[in-house]
Chains A and B, each alone.
Chain A
Amino acid sequence: MIKRRAGRTGQYLALVGYLVFLGFPLLWLVSTAFKPPRELATLHPTWWPKHPTLDNFRQAFDEQPLLHAALNSLLVALSSAVIAVLLATPMAYVMARHRSRLSRAATGWVVVSQAFPFVLVIIPLFLILKRLHLINALPGLVMVYVVWTLPFALWMLTGYVRAVPRELEEAAAVDGAGRLRTLVSITAPLLAPGIVATGLFAFITAWNEFFFALVLLKTPEKQTMPIILTHFIGAEGVADLGPLAAAALLATLPSLLLFALIQRRIAGGMVAGAVKG
């Protein structure tokens, strides 16, 4: 009994430690965003600003088109996530349910493709998009992000499909449901947490992506948040730290909000719901 209690205390301590470890950068970002310049470079930094100021936010908004960039990022990330999920779901279903040499080879290729470095693909990609007149255009960037996230999304969703018991689909078939009806009414709802998780992965990947956006977007009105953030950094890595932290905090909020809104969907048990009925 004592042993079990000690074990549980240890688990909680480890969890708290992990949460602090994860939360510290965010806490520091918030603190830095509200600090005046003189509090940013002290030998003994404080946890919280002694004289909190909104000047960093004011300066960040004055210098860079943050709202416009955030809207661009939102459009690109949402579009990429939705398209990636729409494409990946039926593909994942086929790969999970019809296992063959071909589907195994496809899965292998998916895993290998994740190892390609960005620089390997950027120039051919640039030339293709140029021919399609999609340089400096958000749909071009969406296309790239969909292609880039699709393999991993597919791999993720295949796992979720495999976790849906085949017996449920067979039972539906016995009850007279057609294949499409079974997919839409039985499988898809059970896959919802997986679809949400995959969509979130695609969204965050696109929201944070820097290199493709840097290369493909030319004019300020098209640029996304990660590009705008680099404008607060000068030669030799010198940074305008206060405004940079303020802008970075704003860039972090949408991902956090989205995650807070849908995390229950991800955490919700899927197969548990199926067997209750």
Chain B
Amino acid sequence: MYKTNINLEEMSQKEAIEYLNETVKPDTGAIPAYLLGDPTIYDLEHKKVFLKTWVFIGHESEIPNKNDFITRDVSGYSVIISRGADNQIRGLYNMCTHRGMKLCRADAGNKSLFTCPYHGFNFKNNGDCVGIPLQKDIYGVDLDKSQLGLHKIRVESYKGLIFGTWNDEVESLDAFLGDFKWYIDIFAGRAEMEVMGPPQRFVIHSNWKIGADNFVGDSYHTMVTHGSIAKLGMVPSATYSKKGYQIHTNNGHGLNLGTPNPDFAFPEELKDEYKANLTEEQYEVLSNLKNMIGNIFPNLSFLISHTKIKGQLISNTSMRIWRPISVDKMEVITWFLVEKNAPEDWKRRSRESFILTFSPSGIFEQDDTEVFTDITAAASGTMPLVKQLTFNYTMGLHRKPVTEFVGPGVVYDDKFTEANQRNFYRYWLDLMTK
């Protein structure tokens, strides 16, 4: 039933989708290698996943004041995320409507008006076209400026996390996140959170899905890939990462909850703020949390890490996107998040631990990128198709989810299973074959 000498480039889109349906079997744990290395899949993914679903843009604390803006890439296109004079956050396609020039080339700033470097068309930060140089003289008539406003992207937020989508028909962000919000509350809504500093950016020769796969469900790799951390005494043992829960919900989202933790991983001073923001059950999870690693479909990964540095335990909270650049290349953009009301010394130590562990110089991070790069190289070209190389994702298939956990979703009572990756690929396949 498999075709040999497959060349996806020669297939129509319909045939490529049929081939995906024949070969990708999330429910039985068979994920073919070509998904990570084939350019046709990458192009299809851009249309069927990244232009169709919600993707992460940034955090509201990056634009706290009126007229603040950031520029971000949303599924391959530059977007200005601006807080208007009316305090509303908008997403504007960073393209002049006259001739298509990029309007703004700074990463961030504060301005109410954007002027095109090509012919000087002026746009307010709500998208309205408000000025055209020499208009009456050269156009002869009053141009209808209302037809020349900037293209808008749909933008919605949850607990300070700003997401955007190019798809006007997609379900609301609230519905897309669904049950997963229960866990996002703990990660991003437990207290007033803020992003400290600009995000870090670096490039890896890797397919973006390897990053998402790693964060959504792969606690198993930490024993070996991050073996150095146990050797350095920063975590108690190599099998430290097995204990806890693996949880997934609809739409491909999933996380790994490390628990229990005899120590409280967060600033003690904020216990009242946490209790005010969380339900009793969520606070219970937070109190016992050792770490939390997850992925919001498709490419926003988040992390609460808790390690011993200089003899002291400290947690750090971060998030990152795996921004696809090409089939074998992605930009990793990482943000450090911290409780706004935490003591200054705690914030400084938490940032220090983030930089040491999960920034581009991070001693956890750097070993992952080595693995991601080599996997991508091995999955590239036609051989994985011709030989039908398929990865085994059957870990935990024999297990039944537990029902006594306090949070929603499908829950397993330790972290070493591949249920979350199967869930990720099931939703990915749904979108790709729709």
Bound together = no
Residues of B near any A CB (own CB < 8 A) = none
